[in-house]
A and B are shown apart, each in its own frame.
Chain A
Amino acid sequence: MSGADGREASAALTPAIEVRGLKKSFDGVEAVRGVSFEVAAGEVFGFLGPNGAGKTTTINMLCTLVKPTGGSALVAGHDVVTERDDVRRQIGLVFQEQTLDGYLSAEQNLRLHAELYGVQSALIPARMQQVMEMVGLWERRSSPVKTFSGGMRRRLEIARGLMHSPRVLFLDEPTLGLDPQTRSSIWRYIVELQQREATTIFMTTHYMDEAEFCDRIAIIDRGEIVALDTPTALKAGVGADRVRIQTEDDEAAIAALAGRFGLEGRVAEGAVLFFVPSGEEFVPRLFAELGVPIRSVSVSRPTLDDVFMSYTGTTIRDAEESFSTQTNRIVAQMMGGRR
């Protein structure tokens, strides 16, 4: 017994995920171009990037659903290629698309999962109650899943992913397509379960505000990790605060910013926006030297949006648009080729 405990204890010390030069290409197109990172046990690790950056491909390789074309990955100490089964026993998955059986009740869905994963029968009822209470669905356990809203289904899928107490829970865009209120409630559940179960969480998102919930974030763009750190450190790395001013004459203010301070300002949402290191200390100088009447000032720390922009030179939204134009072109070529 002590031997098994010892193994468990040492397992807690090894990284939950170790990735070395992981690559995947589909028909010559490189979706993931050699990414490397480590996720510590108990960490909430976020993969942030626009659609088409290679997030889902990476998650699929880590979940043993897609075979890498290069590099290696260990999940819970097991190789994703040679020890597929061992990896699968240790991980929980919540996919981007819904994978519940709508004709079964919530309870039946969870029981089916527990049986497939070989959870000890005696523990199933108590564990089921626990995970369903955790996501606030215990009262609805007998209802068919097809009567559930999108947010409820997502919560149930998270509960199901936890049914077998995985060491690593993978969440692929857990809040995609949900309204802001439901998104924040899903996040409350994720943070709470991470505290209670001490599960390592690996998640992908392209919502900047959600990435703030992570302990560490990897920013991925065109199949490569361009930055990896805590949200605070990433934001500090931008080295500038965001300052918004409302003035009597925006044109003159932008010209004055450039002329007197060498700062690049632009009009956004009816105000002038610019970035400057130590924003609070800059405000008195701004009032004294700008020469254009200022009606209001707000200074804020950079957001992850700003971080993404500083590393990739583009906003997430723009990156997605260029990706979809690219996709459209490829589709058009394929259609043309078939003719």
Chain B
Amino acid sequence: MSVSDRTIAPEAAAEVIPVRVPPRTLRSELRAIKIVWLRELIRFANDRLRIATTLVQPLLFLFVLGSGLQSLTGASTEGVDLKTFIYPGVLCLSVMFTAMFSAASIVWDREFGFLREMMVAPVRRSSIVIGKCLGGATVASLQGVILICLAGLVHVPYEPALILGIFALQLLLAFSITAFGIMVAARITQVQSFMGVMQMIVMPMFFISGALFPVTGLPAWLTVLNRLDPLTYAVDPMRRLVFSHLDISTATREALAPGVTWWGWHVPALLEAGMVLVLGLVMLGIAIWEFTLSE
């Protein structure tokens, strides 16, 4: 085929559909956020294995650890099933793990080149990062919904106000953890190192947070660590919410869900939730800043 003397066939040129890329507007940015968010959902829906595997660990904690330790702790849980007690903590754990995996997807995207396709698009980097973060948060809280459905098995009543509250809190947690993960992913470009770093940070955060024990009467060093752990302020309102809907005595509630105190002052649940939100937003801001600077 001779290349130099080719001509444009008029009939072929006529049928070309004239597409124009408009200058960017708020609407085009929102559209970009939406499609990046939607991609996360489509990928999650296609990946049934991932849904199954991330569910196993919380179920182990809840039913195996919960039932196993029940015989030892019967007296000190004041008649409340240990499974009920650790339910809010396990819910948080489940959401955290899924959110971590969602954030890892940005590292995968980089490794498989897809991040580049998004980065060269004529949209703000912040739209991509926000879309990713919202997508990850949505996927993580969908997983949480499965655990919410299991509430009845651990004697947590299905009351609309309670379910809504749990859902809102876990959505908030999912958002913040994803923002944290994306912030880390801006710097760490290999999947293995990313997962390693996340485990190293998230596991201690989980154990210190009081997901598996009440936060009063701890040794002083653990109390300090506990109050510094951001996850404490996600687990605590969740547990207080669940316990306020249980049919138990005030004394039992005081013993098992005492609430976080700062120098004797009871931190209100709304303030705790607000702290998680602000922290999430700050980390999202840092993530956006880092991705805008890169390349």
Binding site for B on A (CB under 8 A): 44, 63-66, 85-86, 88-90, 93, 95, 97-104, 108, 111-113, 115-120, 123, 126-127, 130, 144, 163-165, 188, 191, 194-198, 212-215, 230, 232
Interface string of B3-17 (1 = CB under 8 A from A): 110111100110111
Inter-chain contact A118/B113, CB cutoff 8 Å? no
Number of interface residues of B (CB under 8 A): 42
Inter-chain contact A127/B122, CB cutoff 8 Å? no
Min CB distance A63 to B, Å, is 7
Inter-chain contact A130/B17, CB cutoff 8 Å? yes
CA distance A195 to B3 in the complex (A): 10
CA distance A120 to B31 in the complex (A): 11
CA distance A112 to B7 in the complex (A): 33
CB within 8 Å for A119 and B21 given contacts A44-B3, A88-B120, A95-B116: yes
CA distance A101 to B111 in the complex (A): 11
B21 partner residues in chain A, CB cutoff 8 A: 89-90, 117-119, 164-165
A198 partner residues in chain B, CB cutoff 8 A: 8, 13
A127 partner residues in chain B, CB cutoff 8 A: 17, 19
Inter-chain contact A118/B6, CB cutoff 8 Å? no
Inter-chain contact A196/B12, CB cutoff 8 Å? yes
Query: Which 7 pairs from chain A and chain B are nearest by CB?
Result: A115-B35, A99-B113, A116-B121, A88-B122, A118-B28, A89-B21, A165-B19
Inter-chain contact A103/B123, CB cutoff 8 Å? no
B118 partner residues in chain A, CB cutoff 8 A: 116
B120 partner residues in chain A, CB cutoff 8 A: 63-65, 88, 93
Interface check B114, CB cutoff 8 A: yes
B155 partner residues in chain A, CB cutoff 8 A: none
A116 partner residues in chain B, CB cutoff 8 A: 32, 35-36, 118, 121, 123
Which of B4, B112, B113 is in CB contact (< 8 Å) with A215? B4
Identify the closest chain A residue to B15 (Cβ): A130
Identify the closest chain A residue to B14 (Cβ): A196
Interface check B266, CB cutoff 8 A: no
Stretch of B41-49, B134-142, B204-212 contacting A (4+ beta carbons < 8 Å):
B41-49
Inter-chain contact A99/B24, CB cutoff 8 Å? no
Min CB distance A50 to B, Å, is 23
Inter-chain contact B3/A214, CB cutoff 8 Å? yes
Min CB distance B41 to A, Å, is 12
Other contacts beyond A101-B112, A118-B22: 18, CB < 8 A? A85-B24, A86-B23, A89-B122, A98-B112, A103-B46, A108-B39, A108-B42, A113-B117, A113-B121, A120-B20, A144-B46, A165-B18, A195-B8, A196-B12, A197-B13, A213-B3, A215-B4, A232-B4
A232 partner residues in chain B, CB cutoff 8 A: 4
Which of B17, B24, B36, B121 is in CB contact (< 8 Å) with A126? B17
Identify the closest chain A residue to B22 (Cβ): A118
> Interface centre among A104, A188, A213, by most B CB within 10 Å?
A104
Show 25 A/B contacts (Cβ-Cβ < 8 Å), sorted by A: A63-B120, A85-B23, A89-B21, A89-B23, A93-B120, A98-B112, A99-B112, A99-B113, A99-B116, A100-B113, A101-B109, A103-B47, A104-B42, A108-B42, A115-B31, A116-B36, A118-B22, A119-B19, A119-B21, A120-B19, A127-B17, A188-B1, A196-B9, A196-B16, A197-B13
B13 partner residues in chain A, CB cutoff 8 A: 196-198
CA distance A198 to B10 in the complex (A): 11
Inter-chain contact B3/A215, CB cutoff 8 Å? yes
Interface check B34, CB cutoff 8 A: yes
CA distance A127 to B21 in the complex (A): 13
